[in-house]
């Protein structure tokens, strides 16, 4: 396998700086925190890295060519996650059936792992001992042993969801897809010793499995009749509440469109009632689902202080701001940009960075995911408005951004 990589360092070039309309942010924020934005173009297999450069300018400082790193075209880098110290990045590649691990300081590839068809999201466990990969095509959660000190990464185990006893006991509550598979993992996050994995990819095959990630076994399942989630996962900063989204476009025949979010108490692993915000043990998805005021609910993120949870709808381009203390909607986002997908906030609470899909989207229903300006929008957290849109490969109809991450560098 080819391990050498090409890097395009763009600082100082004529087209590298993009100017926003208002505000001020440099490479160091007011608290002295530096960061960079990693934006994944799954349509062209490129990863673009930007840094804030003052006066709401963002400078492109590097570009990772995934094709050259793996010596193979068409990997579709879909999502990115960082180790706790931000020194390593895990990039899940759906078409390539791989998880790539990069050393972030010099953007060098250190591991190329065959984690299986539809490797959709790869996330470091909180202790950085493992990377868990949601492999849609395999119907499996893949476990990678991660020795960061020695830069050694090995696939050591997997959970085939349909074969797991806790899931098999309730298998009839989960419809089988055309291949006879009932549980395909989509995304996950961690809280209180567990990882929470949504199922899908369509809302028709939604649900949640809860994994004890030390024992690496499924402990609990939620059927689509209980928590109809097929997309986003997000633990609150204090890990006391876990959030899910559910989405479908307005042309979805069975539902006519879905935009929902759910809140779950992680102490009891029970959903919170939308009226009382208390755990309920007798419920259906209809009882505990909350409306996102749009179609195809997808990505979400907390502000750095954990005071707000932002949620977006991919088809209708809008979203909500939620107070996680009460789980009440406190504001609305009128426009994230055309076909928004995944978001991540800056560590200084100045911005939300939101990927925007391309005119020929490689994932998601085109009715909801077809965009106009592939790249990412930058929203002011204070004003709730777009201050700039960054298109790294403007004019390329193959460009299609999906994953995004903010890496703290100091």
pLDDT of 55 reads 79
Give the pLDDT score at 28.
Answer: 44
pLDDT at residue 29 is higher than 50 = no
**CA distance readout (Å), 18 to 344, 364, 377:** 19, 28, 12
Q: What is the pLDDT of residues 322-362, one digit of tens each?
A: 999 999 999 999 999 999 999 999 999 999 999 999 999 99
pLDDT given at position 387: 97
Q: Provide the CB-side half-sphere exposure for 156 (13 A, CA).
A: 14
Checking if the pLDDT of 30 tops 60, the result is no
- CA dist 292 and 244 (Å) reads 12
From start to end of 249-363, where are the E strands? 258-265, 270-271, 290-291, 297-302, 309-313, 319-323, 328-333, 340-345, 351-356
Alpha-carbon distances, residue 74 vs 8, 79, 89, 90, 125 (angstroms) = 20, 15, 20, 18, 28
| 200-225 pLDDT tens trace | 999 999 999 999 999 999 999 999 99
- Quick one: pLDDT at residue 24? 26
Q: Report CA dihedral (181, 182, 187, 192) to the nearest 10 degrees.
A: -130
Q: Which two tokens stand for residue 220?
A: 């609990």
Structure confidence at residue 338 (pLDDT): 98
In this prediction, residue 31 carries a pLDDT of 55
Q: What is the pLDDT of residue 196?
A: 98
If 0-12 CB within 10 Å is exposed, 13-18 middle and 19+ buried, where does residue 150 land?
exposed
Q: Which residue's structure tokens are 């202790």?
A: 127
Name the DSSP class of 131.
E
Confidence at 165, pLDDT banded by 50, 70, 90: very high
Where residue 27 falls among pLDDT bands split at 50, 70, 90? very low
> Is residue 266 within 8 Å of 240, Cβ to Cβ?
yes
Q: What is the mean pLDDT of residues 366-393?
A: 96
- d(CA 336, CA 313) in angstroms, rounded, equals 9
| pLDDT-wise least confident of 5-14, 165-174, 224-233, 310-319 | 5-14
Q: What is the pLDDT of residue 54?
A: 82
* Alpha-carbon distances, residue 48 vs 36, 45, 111, 266 (angstroms): 10, 10, 19, 35
Angle at 343 between CA 145 and CA 115, to 5 degrees: 25
**How far is 254 from 204, CA to CA, in rounded Å?**
8
In Å, how far from its chain's centre is CA 187?
7
Residues 6+ apart with CB under 8 A from 21: 56, 387, 388
Identify the pLDDT of residue 3.
31
Gap between the Cα atoms of 117 and 257, Å rounded: 28
- Which residues lie below 8 Å from residue 241, measured CB to CB, with a gap of 6+? 235, 263, 264, 265, 266, 272, 324, 327
Q: Summarize the confidence of residues 288-302 as an average pLDDT.
A: 98
Kind plus residue range of the DSSP H or E element containing 398? none
Q: Buried b vs exposed e over 270-289: b needs ≥16 C-beta within 10 Å?
A: bbbebeeeebbeebebeebb
In the predicted model, is pLDDT for residue 13 greater than 90? no
Taking alpha carbons only, the member of 102, 132, 131, 136 closest to residue 119 is: 136
Identify the DSSP state of 34.
Answer: B
Distance of alpha carbon 206 from alpha carbon 230, whole angstroms: 5
Please choose, from the candidates 172, 165, 296, the residue with its C-alpha nearest in 3D space to the C-alpha of residue 224: 172
- Per-residue pLDDT at 240: 98
């Amino acid at each position: 396998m080819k391990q050498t990589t090409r890097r395009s360092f763009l600082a100082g070039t004529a087209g590298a700086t993009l100017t926003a309309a208002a505000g001020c942010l440099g490479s160091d924020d007011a608290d002295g925190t530096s960061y960079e934005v990693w934006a994944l173009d799954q349509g062209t297999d490129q990863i673009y890295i930007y840094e804030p450069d003052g006066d709401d300018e963002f400078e492109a400082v590097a570009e990772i060519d995934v094709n050259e790193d793996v010596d193979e075209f068409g990997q579709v880098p879909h999502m990115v996650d960082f180790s706790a110290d931000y020194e390593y990045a895990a990039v899940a590649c759906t078409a390539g059936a791989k998880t790539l691990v990069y050393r972030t300081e010099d953007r060098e590839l250190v591991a190329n792992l065959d984690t299986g068809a539809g490797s959709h999201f790869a996330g470091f466990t909180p202790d950085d001992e493992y990377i868990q990969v949601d492999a849609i095509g395999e119907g499996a959660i893949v476990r990678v042993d991660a020795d960061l000190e020695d830069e050694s990464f090995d696939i050591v185990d997997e959970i085939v969801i349909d074969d797991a006893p806790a899931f098999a006991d309730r298998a009839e509550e989960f419809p089988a897809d055309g291949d006879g598979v009932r549980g395909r993992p989509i995304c996950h996050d961690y809280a209180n010793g567990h990882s929470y994995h949504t199922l899908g990819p369509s809302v028709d095959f939604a649900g949640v499995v809860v994994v004890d990630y030390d024992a690496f076994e499924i402990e609990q399942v939620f059927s689509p009749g209980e928590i109809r989630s097929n997309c986003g996962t997000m633990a609150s900063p204090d890990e006391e509440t876990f959030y899910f989204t559910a989405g479908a476009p307005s042309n979805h025949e069975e539902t006519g469109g879905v935009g929902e979010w759910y809140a779950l108490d992680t102490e009891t692993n029970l959903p919170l009632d939308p009226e009382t915000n208390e755990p309920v043990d007798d419920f259906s998805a209809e009882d505990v689902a909350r409306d996102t005021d749009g179609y195809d609910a997808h990505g979400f993120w907390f502000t750095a202080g954990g005071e707000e949870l932002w949620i977006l709808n991919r088809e209708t381009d809008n979203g909500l701001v939620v107070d996680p203390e009460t789980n009440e909607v406190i504001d609305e986002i009128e426009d994230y940009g055309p076909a928004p997908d995944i978001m991540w906030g800056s560590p200084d609470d100045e911005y939300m960075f939101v990927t925007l899909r391309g005119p020929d989207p490689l994932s998601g229903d085109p009715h909801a995911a077809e965009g106009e300006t592939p790249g990412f929008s930058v929203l002011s957290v204070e004003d709730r408005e777009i201050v700039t849109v960054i298109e790294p490969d403007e004019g390329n109809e193959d460009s299609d951004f999906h994953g995004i991450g903010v890496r703290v560098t100091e």
